[in-house]
Structure 1
Amino acid sequence: MKGYTKPLLLITIILLVDQISKIWVKLNMTIGQSFKVISDRVMIQFIENPGMAYGMEFGGEYGKLFLSVFRIIAVAGIGYGLVYMVKNKYNRGFILNVALIFAGALGNIIDSAFYGLIFSESTPYQKAVLFPDGGGYATFLHGYVVDMFHLPIWKGTFPTWFPIWSGEEFVFFRPIFNVADSAISIGVFLILIFNNRYFKEEHVEKHDVNNEVVED
């Protein structure tokens, strides 16, 4: 198990925080309900996303099914890659970043695969019920992803000289997201930022190993 402890611990923590926060929101809030955490800049707002991360959609029932199947294949590929990286002693930081992406993708798959089976439908007028008598609101792989974090940090209006959106209102950051989305974004961001460092260290380690073999 050497080398697997930290990635597995990170994945477990992300999944627990992600699922606990989603289940709490699902059982305690109605669709569209929101409350302020820090003034109107940090808010909890409950929406359900039938598509991709940050509220983006991939249209239609077949689109939803395709997206769910694609997610499962992608997570299986990432999981296989993660095991390969640990076995071959890739850079630890890189492995943890991939673990973040894996945990986030798996967290949203859980929603898509099982929430439709175990929850009643959330509406603007009633909260969901866990394991309802009449069954869930959707079939396997057709559940909605629960999103709740809304950070409209900066609101304003585009100046009149600005092309296309002249005079229109804008909000930064507009998308509503969840813990799983955050884990994916952080993992990808850190890989992009530290990419050269990760693979430079990988090259140095392999070079040192080769030198030791030659010297022996």
Structure 2
Amino acid sequence: MSLKKAYILVFIIIIIDQVSKFYIKTHFKLGEFVEVFPWFQIYFIENEGMAWGMKLPGNYGKIALTSFRILAIFGIMYWLWDSVKNKANTILIVAVSLILAGAAGNIIDCVFYGRIFDTSAYGTVAQAFTGQGYGPWLEGKVVDMFYFPILKNSAGETIFFNAIFNVADAAISVGVILLIIFNKKIFKS
């Protein structure tokens, strides 16, 4: 796979991720959901920290996390470039491209969304480009929306797969799963 094709894949995933997040952010109130099927909902939440809502301690935790993510992107970009240069297995190139796209999609939220959008709330829909951003650069919240409450107990509480995620998260997960499943094929030596 060529570097051009890999970057096209990355670009397409970032566009899908950002369009879906922008739509949800400007059309859904925080906490609002639409049931598509009993086992699938579009459910708008915002994640202020790391995966599954974990946060770093202190006032500068979000800035440190976002800065680390930006540095990590350069490492992933090098990994992709090196994999293409060395004619690595196509599965590896696709996996790294997915991870890069997902990481970039969530970094865009962290870096820019605090300045682009006003506050999302339970009673109102956020507006974009009003000049009244909800936070400083590097402290934006990640928009999540896909919810698959596959298994519920008798009280209606989700007991299997209660994570709410976005396209970027899915891309990262699929990339990592590809690396795990095809580990022996990808890393022969």
Query: TM-score over 0.5 for the alignment?
Result: yes
Aligned to 2:125, the other structure's residue is in SS state coil
For residues 21 and 11 of structure 2, what CA distance do their matches in structure 1 show?
15
- Residue 13 of structure 1 is matched in structure 2 by 12
Quote how far apart the aligned CAs of 1:65 are: 1.0
The amino acid across from 2:63 in the alignment is L
Residues 88-141 of structure 1: CA distance to partner in whole angstroms, max 9, x if unpaired? Answer: 1111110110010000000000000000011111000111111114x2111100
Deviation, 1:13, is 1.1
| Aligned partner of residue 147 in structure 1, secondary structure | strand
Cα pair 1:150 1:175 within 8 Å, conserved: yes
Alignment partners' CA distance in 1, 2:49 and 2:85 = 34
1:78 maps to: 76
In structure 2, C-alpha distance between the alignment counterparts of 1:194 and 1:59, rounded to whole Å: 36
- Over the residues paired in the alignment, what is the CA RMSD in angstroms? 1.7
Which of 1 and 2 has greater Rg? 1
The amino acid of 2:6's aligned partner reads: P
Counterpart for residue 111 of structure 2: 113
Kindly indicate whether the alpha-carbon contact (under 8 Å) linking 2:150 and 2:158 is maintained by their aligned counterparts in 1: no
CA deviation string 1:174-215 (max 9, x = no partner): 011000000001100110110001122xx5xxxxxxxxxxxx
TM-score (norm 2): 0.94
Judge which range, 22-31 or 46-55, deviates more: 46-55
On the 8 A contact 2:26/2:127 being kept in 1, the answer is yes
Does the Cα contact within 8 Å between 1:55 and 1:175 map onto a contact in 2? no
Query: Quick one: which amino acid aligns to residue 178 of structure 1?
Result: N
Match of 2:174 among 176, 186, 207: 186
Amino acid at match of 2:146: F
Give the number of the structure with larger relative contact order, counting CA–CA contacts within 8 Å between residues 6 or more apart.
2
Q: Is the partner of 2:123 in helix, strand or coil?
A: coil
Q: Measure how far apart 1:3 and its partner are.
A: 1.2
Cα shift at 1:59? 4.0
Deviates more, 1:178-187 or 1:61-70: 61-70
2:133 partner amino acid: G
Instruction: Give the Cα–Cα distance (whole angstroms) in 2 for the partners of residues 10 and 55 of structure 1.
Output: 28
Pair 1:137–1:16, CA change in 2 (3 A): same
What SS does the aligned partner of 1:187 have?
Answer: helix
Unpaired segments of 5 or more residues in structure 1? 158-168, 204-216
Q: CA deviation at 1:54?
A: 3.8
Which structure 2 segments of 5+ residues have no match? none
| Aligned residues of 1:55 and 1:176 also touching (Cα < 8 A) | no
